[in-house]
Amino acid sequence: MTGRARARARGRPPAQGTAPPAVGAATAQETLPGQLPRSTKPQQPLAVSPVPEESAGRGRQRQTRNVPQGQKERKPEGLQIAAEFQELSLSDRGGRRRDFHDLGVNTRQTIKHVQESKTGTSGSVIKLVANYFRVMSRPQWALYQYHVGYNPEMEARRLRSALLFQHEKLIGKTHAFDGSLLFLPRKLDNKVTEVFSRTRNGEDVKITITLTNELPPSSPACLQFYNIIFRRILKMLNLQQIGRNYYNPNDSITIPDHRVVVWPGFTSSILQYEENIMLCADISYKVLRSETVLDFMYSLYYQVEESRFRDACAKELIGVIVLTKYNNKTYRIDDIDWGGNPQHTFRKADGSEISFVDYYKRQYNQEITDLNQPVLVSQPKRRAISLPGPVILIPELCFLTGLTEKMRNDFNMMKDLSIHTRLPPEQRQHEIRKLRDYIQNDENVQKELQDWGLNFDSHLLSFPGRVVQGEKILQSGNVFDYNPQFADWSKETRGAPLICPKPLDNWLLIYTRRNYDVANTLVQNLFKVTPSMGIKMKQATMIEVDDRTEAYQRALQQSITPDTKIAVCVLSSSRKDKYDAIKKYLCTDCPIPSQCVLARTLSKPQTAMAVATKIALQMNCKMGGELWTVEIPLKQVMIVGIDCYHDTCAGKQSIAGFVASMNQTMTRWFSRCAVQTRGQELVDGLKACLQTALREWFKWNKCLPSRVIVYRDGVGDGQLSTLVSYEVPQFLDCLKSVGRDYNPRLTVIVVKKRLNTRFFAQCGEALKNPPPGTVVDVQVTRPEWYDFFIVSQAVRNGCVSPTHYNVVYDTSKLQPDHIQRLTYKLCHMYYNWPGVIRVPAPCQYAHKLAFLVGQSIHKEPNLQLSDRLYYL
Amino acid sequence: MDKNFKEGQFQGTIKFTPPLSKQRYQFIKDLVAKYRPKKVADLGCADCKLLWMLKFCSCIEVLVGLDISASIMREKMHMLSPLPVDYLQPTERSLTVTLYHGSVAHKDPCMLGFDLVTCIEVIEHLEESELNKFPEVVFGFMAPSIVVISTPNVEFNTLLPGVTSFRHPDHKFEWNRAQFQSWALETARRYDYSVEFTGVGHSPRGMENIGFCTQIGVFLRKCPQTGGFAPSDKSSETVYKTVFKAVYPSLKDEKYLQNTLVGEVVFTAQIIKQSLLNHLMSEREERNDNTTERKAQLQPCFSKDTRKLGVEKSMEPFVKGNVVYVPLKTIFSFPKVNQLCGTFEKLCKLIAGKVKLSSGGYVLLLSTEHEDG
């Protein structure tokens, strides 16, 4: 579901402060009231937002940032500098500042049995290439940080620089200086150096240069420094920065049919990996639209009725990221103020009132032609506390970026797009290498790198990975092997009896008059496909309704009896309101499983049987049936999957889906969700979920699980430390509260799908996608984590994306190999897809549940359904 | 008169609102609005702030900055790069921004032919030898139509708190009004310019005799540039080093024009197609309300209601089979397309090969296939 990534990308709870130091941080100690090197500060000093509160100086922001904002965790003193540095790299554009790489969260040190080794052993070796370049530095390379003091005190930064660099011989040509902190690639002879400079009007100034820090290459501060240097380089290559990545407008691809422009570019980061500091570079595409928000509103106005116009605007625009005509910032539209217009005034930083029209005319020479357009409201994300007040934007001056929901659902549009953006492995690797070539071939860039004593390996990283053996699919006494190349067993298991078929004997089929034929055909086809599965089926109660939401609702209300097993609705369009109404009613007020299906899906004769098979399986799961299993050697283990959905519209609530296994074969699941309202932590709800899950488990198994393994999806970049310091202790608390003698082993694994990491399998000269079951736990993993990658799914087009697993807490004492194998096994257990998926099944179930609740139901479904996969 | 500063409790503390530097830049912007120069150079551009403000002025097509310190220019030079939006919606005007590393005491042919040269708070930083060469380089060699020079008025210093000698340690001198004006008049006379004196930063009431805080001389060249000066006269070696150069996307560049035009043409055609299909659909539904045929096969049929799109009868779009035919004349009649290409011939030439056209080349073909959902 594409909507998901988007929903998640938009709403994330704010990340918490910096976590404990990383392994390499040993020497990053001293605290200085440091300023940031100005060169990397935002580039638009005049780009004052038209809202007064926004225009307060950066200094103020920084001050308030150092105050922990309602967080219990205290920031260790020694990390002040590293924190400053983090800001530095991320504040490059004045945008959100966060440690996106979760630096300094050292979880491996707490897990005893992986201190020596965290690598698995099983499987066959495969030669892999990854999209990483080693960062090469001189031996014994370090970054030296100095404090520079002036006596008498000099105010002007320019002058401070000029005075200091009168001693260029001493300092060297390569330096980064912000007026107070000086960074050098080499060490000065003395720890404290005093020099004298003379101003042009003859005043003598004593300059004291004191060594405050020697930063080893792997220290967080140093890594941030690399990233800054690298950003500089990307700018030198004339790439355009949008958001966090850099794009090349000269190679843009225009798709005029959809008014869309795609910019190719790069996403990159430099980090300390297992053995080396490396640059991870991947190609990235930015979708931009050649229309302003106002253009978009106009065209929408002609498409919808007047009465629905405002709602339609809100639906299409809220959450969208816009670029402005006058600065290089991106803003997220949080609201549309229909009462506002460009003639309204605001108070400038100097206290004077000015209208938006006049401001933009005077400041940027931007003509606003439509004086009656509403204004857009963007809430600054993290500064909300120190700088209240939203940013007001003018639709006419804002350009849309990214895809709207509507575009995502437009098959043709996505097809056109994927032609350009889905590159096969060979081509992708070629594009990635381009970055390296750009760097290699640009004289200025080479000089900059040499000055700092840095360079990049000319080859992509290659190393061995392992392909673990495929699983056997067990289904009612039958054992199936599947072709590992496709990781799909739909053909193999066709016609085989299910583990637990549920009779389809009392069910409703609701359709409109127009769809009578397809509904009828569906029943006929179900009669054909169900017997071999072992499903006992009877004729449905057929109900014809008008094509209106209320008609469906009335039919459900009137026809459902306590014995109804499932209600099937044939819908004539993908209008969401009808679907939502049906789901809401059948998940809350009248809890029975339901199956909605589009008439169009059923109407194609060539796929009718396949569709009927799929629907039969899906309905069986929704009614509590079981399809297949794989061999699970672990006993008395409860597997939990958690994922979140962040609602962008309705009150911005977040929903966590929580799914826990109830039996040893992992075929039955207990599902609940936690709806988080404003001001409440999601983790409270999760705790309650875990408690009920344990109770349920006890009912099923007459004992409590001796192990609990949690797969936690939906953790944003930079949220790891929060998870480790709040959520994990809460889980432990919860387990403790069950009983005095109850002390199960807990494993918490953070699952991450949105990665820039790519693996290519080397087959002779050619590069291909690595086969499903490829496990990587060397080189590109992080030394401070117990982490690994698995490529579990197979893709037809483009490059496969590995999933990252980070075991943040583990008292299970299970060997890494076993955790890896178990994880891969669980990727086989998602019943809506007869194949291996990207994440362990419980995560996907949790996602499905959270998505349904977030999109359609908006409150917790009835608990009577919790023992079935009703949300599939 | 009192508006632009606030007087503190004590005599001698003055704060300008908006800040004096902003007032100086605003002065230049006003001047640009008045004279609408095409080529503008800022000598001593430092952190490029003035250039950044000027890049929004739509009359300017060439913007050049010169500074003695390359590193200071480098710090902020990227804010002179085009914005993503400049690529998304290229404008008619072309704009090139270039930064040079060099001295105002040296001549370089890249500074020839300018309409406006600004020199804001620069001359007081020049050593005597440089100052001596300055008039010859700027007025004699560059010889732009307008030169603006600003410098502190030392008479005002008594009102500035904490200023004992010069306002800035790097200042080599600070002139009073008489000194500046005699220097300016002499320079103007020698190079045949007229000069007017003004300034920013008014003195407080009752002390008007002190003059502006910043004094400004606006020099206008008396004889207009004799069309096409012979470059050979002025030829000299290039001594400035290019630090930064940004060429803004412009519709004058055929590549951008073509891209924009194709985008607009396809989008316009889509609108026409959509309204045509909607029209046909509603007509069809009216006619055979009871038809069992589910998949609407569009029959060859002419639409009669395209006049609302501002289309003449002779160039009506139509549907035949699975193809929508949109005459280019129809598309050309849309103002946005019309504006972009100007002539019909140019339209045909630019979109050739970029969109699917009929064999004659005057009708755009679109498939209806996507619409059966």
Judged by CB atoms closer than 8 Å, whether chains meet at A240 and B262 is answered as no
Low-confidence ranges of chain A (pLDDT < 50): 1-98, 383-386
Judged by CB atoms closer than 8 Å, whether chains meet at B267 and A158 is answered as no
Write down the pLDDT at residue B268. Answer: 86
Give the contacts of A630 (CB within 8 A, at least 6 positions apart): A471, A472, A473, A474, A666, A825, A828, A829
A847 is catalytic: yes
For A159, the closest of B169, B264, B370 (CB atoms) is B169
Write down the pLDDT at residue A125. Answer: 95
- One CATH from 2.170.260.10, 2.160.20.80, 3.40.1390.10, 1.10.10.10 for A289-402: 2.170.260.10
Which of A101, A147, A828, A847 is an active site residue?
A: A847
Give me the mean pLDDT over the B274-282 stretch.
80
Of residues B3 and A212, more confidence is placed in A212
pLDDT at B303 over 70: no
Write down the pLDDT at residue A388. Answer: 58
Is B255 an interface residue toward A (CB < 8 Å)? no
The sign one gets for the Cα dihedral A237, A240, A246, A252 is negative
Q: Which of A155, A198, A323, A325 to mutate to test the interface with B (most CBs of B within 10 A)?
A: A325
What is d(CA A387, CA A384) in angstroms, rounded to the nearest whole number? Answer: 5
A291 is catalytic: no
Judged by CB atoms closer than 8 Å, whether chains meet at B89 and A290 is answered as yes
Write down the pLDDT at residue A99. Answer: 62
What is d(CA A322, CA B57) in angstroms, rounded to the nearest whole number? Answer: 23
What is d(CA A587, CA A858) in angstroms, rounded to the nearest whole number? Answer: 11
Phi-psi region of A562 (alpha: psi -120 to 50; beta: other; left: phi over 0): alpha
Write down the pLDDT at residue A385. Answer: 44
pLDDT at B306 over 60: no
Of residues B55 and A299, more confidence is placed in B55
User: How close is the nearest chain B Cα to the Cα of A200, in Å?
Assistant: 5
- One CATH from 3.40.50.2300, 3.40.50.280, 3.30.70.1900, 2.40.10.220 for A501-623: 3.40.50.2300
What length is written for chain A?
872
What is d(CA A39, CA A179) in angstroms, rounded to the nearest whole number? Answer: 11
For A44, the closest of B46, B79, B270 (CB atoms) is B79
Nearest CA in chain B to A322: B85
A353 is catalytic: no
Q: How confident is the model at residue B324 (pLDDT cuts 50, 70, 90)?
A: confident
Choice among A787-801, B115-129, B227-241 with the minimum mean pLDDT: B227-241
The third-level CATH classification (topology) of the domain covering B20-225+236-248 is: Rossmann fold (3.40.50)
Write down the pLDDT at residue B371. Answer: 42
Write down the pLDDT at residue A22. Answer: 31
What is d(CA A256, CA B354) in angstroms, rounded to the nearest whole number? Answer: 10
Query: What is the residue-wise DSSP string for B85-130?
Result: HHHHS-BSS--EEEEEE--TTS--GGGTT-SEEEEET-GGGS-HHH
Question: What's the complex ipTM?
Answer: 0.79
Write down the pLDDT at residue A200. Answer: 59
Strands A398-401 and A330-332: what pairing?
unpaired
Note the CATH architecture for domain A143-215: 2-Layer Sandwich (3.30)
Write down the pLDDT at residue A574. Answer: 78
The third-level CATH classification (topology) of the domain covering A635-754+807-865 is: Nucleotidyltransferase; domain 5 (3.30.420)
Write down the pLDDT at residue A651. Answer: 59
Is A45 an interface residue toward B (CB < 8 Å)? yes
Is A324 an interface residue toward B (CB < 8 Å)? yes
Write down the pLDDT at residue B44. Answer: 93
Judged by CB atoms closer than 8 Å, whether chains meet at A46 and B53 is answered as yes
For A365, the closest of B58, B88, B172 (CB atoms) is B58
Residues of A in contact with B88 (CB under 8 A): 261, 288-290, 323, 399
Q: Are B101 and B241 in contact (CB under 8 A)?
A: yes
**3-state class of A768 per DSSP?**
strand
A443 is catalytic: no
Q: Which sequence spans correspond to the domains of chain A?
A: 143-215, 289-402, 501-623, 635-754+807-865
Structure tokens at B350: 């630019």
Q: Are A182 and A146 in contact (CB under 8 A)?
A: yes
Q: Which sequence spans correspond to the domains of chain B?
A: 20-225+236-248, 254-279+315-372
pLDDT at B40 over 50: yes
- pTM, to two decimals: 0.78
